[in-house]
Chains A and B, each alone.
Chain A
Amino acid sequence: MKSALINVPAKARRGEVIAIRTLISHAMESGFRFNSSGVLQPRDIITSFVATYNGEEIFRADLFPAISANPFITFHTVATESGTIEFTWTGDNGYSATQSAKITVE
């Protein structure tokens, strides 16, 4: 189950600084833990997060094994024009998730 929660204001004034919050469901298995039978659990984490605003990259983050499960990433950007903000998470074992949100700028 890939689920994500996105919080982007639906409306903003041109030039306004807006807060964007994202939360995605992921176990972020660090690769350092052993299971109850003593077997090392292979690493399974999200390694990168990219946000684009009408196709232009506005935010990027690299994620590492010490980041907790269900990563919550929040950042700010300037509302420049109406359009779509798209979020992509990629990770180990071919993991990839995409979500988008619409924003109207007046």
Chain B
Amino acid sequence: MNAICRSRTSRATAVAALLAALCVLASALAAEVPLAERRSGYEFMSRDTKAMQDEDTANPGMLWVLDGEALWGAKAGQANRACADCHGDAANSMKGVAARYPAFDAKRAGPLDLEGRINVCRSEQQKAPPFPFESKELLALTTFVARQSRGMPVESSDERLKPFIETGRQMFNRRQGQLNLACAQCHDDLWGQKLAGIPMPQAHPTGYPLYRLEWQTVGSLQRRLRNCLIGMRAETYAYGSPEYVALETFLMWRARGMPMEAPAVRP
């Protein structure tokens, strides 16, 4: 009798403690990372992986930059024009461009990410078929263009992007999938802690397209977002869908002022 009573009390104490813990957790939710505390995923990496990103001849992403450079100068499509024919030397014309993408496109009345912009250029200016998403060519060109902005601060000041940033923010904070998780739970509230032994970063997209060791290839931010959605057991969107672009727009706004690192290396 006595023993049962004791175990009941201890169970009640445990339940109370759990509720208290949940309350603390709930009050901590939905707090955005303060500007001064923002950290790139780079800072959560091992010394070896950092060294790999820092040294251009050890960073496999640079292989895509080389391929992209060749594509930049290659004539394509019915217009028989190369990117370089209009834009000239990418080192000047593309400097800082990736840092302000996704950018507002007046014709489409919405944001376009870098991949989207390259494919629009391809179909409208070069009169060539757009590259498939995650194709070697599209990744190479995007990586080459993004490389020209290395070290420059992310810019997100276009007023017209506001509603799309808001949509992206709602997606970021919305619980979804079979695990009923929101992006914010890991990346705003629990960053720095471990998930399956790996530190959770704050999810700043400053290094995309980046070489992910797990993928053994370069991948886009949309591929990474898809990867996260699958992990949450949520439904993914089609590549190039406005949902992904809105989320990208929000993430870039969230990382405003942070230096670009593309092509980064991530585990």
A residues in contact (CB < 8 Å) with B = 1, 3-7, 21, 23-25, 28, 68-70, 72
Contact = CB atoms under 8 A, between A and B. Distances in A.
Contacts of B70: 1
Nearest to B136: A1
8 contacts: A1-B140, A5-B57, A21-B57, A23-B58, A23-B60, A24-B63, A25-B60, A72-B60
B216 interface: yes
A7 B56 CA distance: 9
Given A25-B63, A70-B63, A5 B56 contact: yes
B110 to A, nearest CB: 31
Contacts of B62: 5, 23
Contacts of B15: none
B19 interface: no
B216 A21 contact: no
A68 B136 CA distance: 18
Which of B60, B66, B136, B217 has the largest number of chain A CB atoms within 10 A?
A: B60
B57 A1 contact: no
A70 B216 contact: yes
Interface string B111-135: 0000000000000000000000000
Given A1-B136, A5-B63, A23-B63, A68 B216 contact: yes
Contacts of B189: none
Interface of B: 55-58, 60, 62-63, 66-67, 70, 136, 140, 213, 216-217
A102 to B, nearest CB: 15
Given A1-B70, A1-B136, 6 more contacts: A5-B66, A24-B63, A25-B63, A25-B67, A68-B216, A69-B216
B57 A23 contact: yes
A68 B213 CA distance: 9
A32 to B, nearest CB: 14
Nearest to B216: A69
A57 to B, nearest CB: 22
A69 B7 CA distance: 57
Contacts of B55: 7, 21
A101 B23 CA distance: 63
Contacts of B66: 3, 5
A22 to B, nearest CB: 8
Contacts of A4: 63
A7 B136 contact: no
Contact of B67 (A1, A28, A68): A1
A23 B136 CA distance: 18
Nearest to A68: B216
A36 B67 CA distance: 27
A21 B67 contact: no
A72 B56 CA distance: 12
B211 to A, nearest CB: 8
A4 B60 CA distance: 9
Contacts of A68: 213, 216
Contacts of B140: 1
